[in-house]
Amino acid sequence: MRAVPSGLGAQTFVGPGDFNTQLTAWLQNANRCRHRTIGSRPLDRWETDRAAMLAVPPVGPPAWWPLRTRLGRDHYIRVDTNDYSVHPRAIGRLVTVQADTEEITVTCGEDVMARHARCWARHQSITDPEHAAAARHLREEVRQQQAARARTARAAFLAPDGLGVEVEQRELATYDRIFTLIEGGAGEEDPR
């Protein structure tokens, strides 16, 4: 049985550097064999392919994936398949995301709201500890405000209406007797 060189399709890569390292190792094996598809070794075709290539332009490529979006309440931005944290003070505001091979930068106006090293793994959540602490602090503030509003609403509900009308408050057992849920109801007077 003849050994067939494997392609790079089933491999996983940590980043561009890892890809280049694995590709170089694969090419060392691939350049030893004559491939039926191309009719020669890849190394033998290199000069012909290189002569057909265009020159690289004198300016750098634009940043990848520029994106403008409104930051949601979870304060994370998704780039590729990964989620990157953003400072929660930008929640609800328009942010601009710039991504390249090395870094993810999120700005809101002129302010930088997040800067993360690009993660090449898939389905990761990258959280800046400062963003997590700020989110905990904001959640605690909201919880305290809600508790204060609830206390104010309860106090307003329990406060006298100021009209001088007094309303009788009965025990719940009285209603059970009226609706014949317990003995002594349906037409019998309240024993009070």
> Could you read off the pLDDT of 151-188 as tens digits, one per residue?
887 766 665 555 556 667 778 888 777 777 666 555 55
Averaged pLDDT for residues 18-33 = 85
- Whole-number Cα distances in Å, 148 to 16, 103, 112, 139: 52, 42, 33, 14
User: Cβ neighbours of residue 88 under 8 Å, at least 6 residues apart?
Assistant: 75, 131, 134, 135, 138
Distance between CA 140 and CA 127 in Å, rounded?
19
Distance between CA 105 and CA 25 in Å, rounded?
33
pLDDT digits (tens, 9 = 90+) for 35-89: 888 888 888 888 888 888 888 777 765 656 678 999 999 999 999 899 999 999 9
| Secondary structure of residue 80 in the 3-state scheme | coil
Q: What is the pLDDT of residue 182?
A: 65
Distance between CA 66 and CA 32 in Å, rounded?
42
pLDDT digits (tens, 9 = 90+) for 121-143: 889 999 999 999 999 999 999 99
- The H or E element containing residue 121 is none
| Secondary structure of residue 108 in the 3-state scheme | strand
Do the Cβ atoms of 114 and 126 come closer than 8 Å?
Answer: no
Secondary-structure percent of the chain, ordered helix, strand, coil, rounded to 5: 35, 20, 45
Distance between CA 75 and CA 131 in Å, rounded?
9
Taking alpha carbons only, the member of 122, 41, 42, 136 closest to residue 79 is 122
Distance between CA 129 and CA 133 in Å, rounded?
6
